[in-house]
Chain A
């Protein structure tokens, strides 16, 4: 397909999706997790596959069966409820995160009100007095659905798929969201 163009996606849609992705990551970085949950459709899936170092031309490098996250909106809400207790030790004191979202490419889908947004995501996480941060570099592929009128976000995440670039992840846990 060469360098597939994004013809068929008008400027308004591209701009609005870019804005949405920025606002969504702002909610995460400001630890407004309830606001963040609102960005997900009721039937949403949140998925981070396990990456495996494989030979070139292998059938897959991202496991078709293993996941670091394999969540629905319901289980994401359980994670958020957990963060709202006093006993989520992995986030006590909380991580400082900064999500850097770049290289956004928006593609049309077969559904008129759904678009695929590809982006690069670099998450910087600092914890406590540790001077070495965790860095998570990922490719994101988000299926977005236009939200109903009156829904403030403008878009809903139907499927977030994020593939980390490291096969051996250099963080003692993933208590944050990508």
Chain B
């Protein structure tokens, strides 16, 4: 059942898509449509675990950042006791916005409308004219900021608007194994290098999420200049090699690109690899050591990439890691947050080098990022055009490819890296959310 107000056309499209995805067909229309956007807001982003912040963005007591789940502004805080907490960014009295900055540090929040004051953890503690005006009718305990349920994994803070959602652990469903390649770089784990790049694009968030669910197929063409200039540590001849893994029915996936002959953990300092050997499992080390490129997504809209990259073509290069949030703000329109994650225990020199590699390749001016968004914006535009309403895209790559039964990690793994297997799972999971009763 689709939501009240969803047209018969969209209901039929989603019903047909159920079988279609299994056969390797996905309707183009989902990538730019008002009704789909509304359904995603009401059924997907209102129930899924959505990324809010990395713990290292708010290291000190009182640090906060303002983030979003769908159209809800949320303050994510480390309170005065060091506990992480999240509240809607709205005064409980008349709904004014509490924090107007993207980040800061405060022990209390004071509303600029009538002056209600809250602890940074959300409890209402100050009300002007409390005695004279309210005459004992206002129970401050009942009128704190509206809490948002949060949980963390290895530094990532997620929130959900659904009080009945399963635990984050269950939601991630084994994908933690792969997330560790990004989040546990060295004994101290990963930290953000600084605040994220932040921009808007006329692009549907799902195009980006799909791409980062392991689209190794686009790389030799969309980023052909990289191969052409000679500094991409792969070649067209071997680029398809590696693995694609997803967690069935959860929507999380990762593509693991492999370059034959590349030394294990190419681009990491040796000391960091030693630390990882101590903190990661042998199965993780086996998978990660063979990985050149790890491009993965936590359903629905948080993605990561690790990739060795040099500033100048042909040089050895360093491994950089980016984390990105594709945040929908309208049909075919999104806000982009892009962070660089660095190993906390690495030297400052390594962190700087990795960060420079990140800015040259990714981030708003990154040479790879530029080309991706150019393509994605044009895909979005096509998907919104009327003649495309009945058009489907083929997702048949790897349709009959057998599941690897000896892959060391959890989930459904296939080889090679270039395949649509992850995407079929992504879209059938997406469909589960959009067609469920809420």
Contacts and interface: CB of A to CB of B under 8 A. Distances in A.
Contact of A82 (B198, B202, B229): B229
A172 B201 contact: yes
A90 B356 contact: no
Given A75-B311, A171-B199, A69 B103 contact: no
Contact of A54 (B101, B199, B376): B101
A54 B102 contact: yes
Interface range for B? 35 or more
Given A71-B360, A75-B311, A78-B313, A66 B371 contact: no
A13 interface: no
A54 B193 CA distance: 18
B335 interface: yes
A89 B375 CA distance: 8
Interface stretch (A20-28, A45-53, A101-109): A45-53
A85 B311 CA distance: 17
Given A68-B364, A75-B360, A50 B335 contact: no
Interface string B332-376: 000100000000000000000001100110011101011101111
A61 to B, nearest CB: 10
Contacts of B211: none
Contact of B224 (A75, A87, A90, A91): A87
Interface in B212-258: 222-225, 228-229
Nearest to B340: A66
Contacts of A113: none
A88 interface: yes
B104 A58 contact: yes
Contacts of B201: 171-173
A176 to B, nearest CB: 9
B355 A63 contact: no
Contacts of A175: 365, 370, 374
B365 A168 contact: no
A87 to B, nearest CB: 4
Contact of A65 (B193, B223, B335, B373): B193
A65 B371 CA distance: 25
Nearest to A169: B199
Contacts of B311: 72, 74-75, 78
A128 B370 CA distance: 15
B195 interface: yes
A169 B200 contact: yes
A13 B202 CA distance: 44
Contacts of B1: none
B203 interface: yes
B243 to A, nearest CB: 27
| Chain A interface helix/strand/loop/mixed | mixed
Contacts, number: 129
A174 interface: yes
Nearest to A69: B365
A167 B198 contact: yes
Contacts of B365: 48, 68-69, 173-175
Contact of B355 (A55, A68, A70): A70
Contacts of A72: 311
B377 A172 contact: yes
B373 A90 contact: yes
Given A53-B101, A54-B103, A55-B104, A172 B202 contact: yes
B197 to A, nearest CB: 6
B229 A85 contact: yes
Given A68-B359, A70-B355, A170-B199, A88 B313 contact: no
A79 B371 contact: no
Contacts of A66: 193-197
A32 interface: no
B141 interface: no
Nearest to B336: A172
Which 9 residue pairs spanning A and B have beta carbons closest together? A65-B194, A66-B194, A90-B370, A172-B201, A87-B224, A174-B365, A87-B225, A173-B370, A169-B199
27 contacts: A50-B196, A53-B100, A54-B103, A54-B104, A55-B101, A58-B104, A63-B194, A65-B194, A65-B195, A66-B193, A67-B355, A67-B363, A68-B364, A70-B356, A75-B360, A79-B367, A88-B371, A89-B370, A90-B373, A168-B199, A169-B199, A172-B199, A172-B200, A172-B202, A173-B374, A174-B365, A175-B365
Interface of A: 48, 50, 52-55, 58, 63-72, 74-75, 78-79, 81-82, 85, 87-91, 167-175
Given A53-B101, A65-B195, A82-B225, 19 more contacts: A50-B197, A50-B198, A54-B101, A54-B104, A63-B194, A68-B363, A74-B311, A87-B228, A88-B225, A89-B370, A90-B371, A90-B374, A167-B198, A168-B199, A168-B335, A170-B199, A171-B200, A171-B201, A172-B374
